[in-house]
Structure 1
């Protein structure tokens, strides 16, 4: 009787799929949670982006003020990508008129904007800058009693002379 090749083939397929997940940036993102898990992650131009490093301040902050501009949310995070003090990137966004869960634009200058800074490059997108932007923020939980804000986000930034910045598959979950 010939031994079956199915178990060997099945084992090889499982090993290959496990390796593929390690190479898939989207599979490495933090889960979309709404529990105050203190997580954030996104893809920046298709590459995994999560906070990394410490410069004396928290590398991930979220604030929400329900009384300012009908509810103002600020999310900021940074990661070190080199050894120097200025070798870092920052991803963030802010939006006002966020009174509850829902979907909001991230393309209204001075009110709803995505931000990307790369201190190692020449192109910065700090907000309040006259360049093209589009994007969306979805608040999935805004619970002031529990002190939790969670959601998803994406945005694209472009200005002449710079590569476009595409922030996709963003998710955050933070205890305020």
Structure 2
């Protein structure tokens, strides 16, 4: 009798654990982001309106690219990413900042080429493309470079942005992080 009871208890435990895989509760979106590292790991992630955004898929080009030109505008730094959701939908998230030449905090509120954030949801409508500072009603964005190693060509940091346009939902980019070689 004790052997059967032990067997039934083991089976009950196994069946209860198998239900854990199909848990309908959503995971914490921040847990889906890559860790914040400073090793040139080639990682990028953030929350866009509370949903995890990481580069994904391919259109024939790299879905995450970091550039740095020390001679243009005192040090032009850029991040370009995209995420292929399906064959009809690709999202883009890019940042540009200049002059960038060391560890520090940089405003991304300055306009074309010297500090900007571009987000395209891939939907093509006015609210699906948040970029042009001329028709934004509010924009506050910051890039913080936490490692800038020119000799090993490694850059890492964090970023966030809040962008609003009349008639559109406010775009909130939070917990942004990147670690890459340039």
Query: Same fold, TM exceeding 0.5?
Result: yes
1:39 is aligned, of 18, 39, 43, to 43
Please tell me the root mean square deviation across aligned C-alpha atoms, in Å: 2.1
Q: Distance in 2 between matches of 1:142 and 1:26?
A: 25
Which structure: larger Rg? 2
Matches within 5 A, 1:103-142: 103-110=105-112, 111-122=114-125, 123=127, 124-131=129-136, 132-142=138-148
User: Helix, strand or coil: the match of 2:81?
Assistant: strand
Q: Distance in 2 between matches of 1:28 and 1:118?
A: 19
TM-score with structure 2 length normalisation?
A: 0.81
TM-score with structure 1 length normalisation?
A: 0.84
2:157 is aligned, of 151, 157, 169, to 151
Q: Distance in 2 between matches of 1:80 and 1:163?
A: 22
**In structure 2, what is the equivalent of residue 168 of structure 1?**
174
Structure 1: gaps spanning 5 or more residues: 1-11
Structure 2: gaps spanning 5 or more residues: 1-15
Change beyond 3 A, Cα 1:158–1:39: same
Q: What's the offset of the Cα at 1:128?
A: 4.8
Paired residues, number: 159
Change beyond 3 A, Cα 1:29–1:171: same
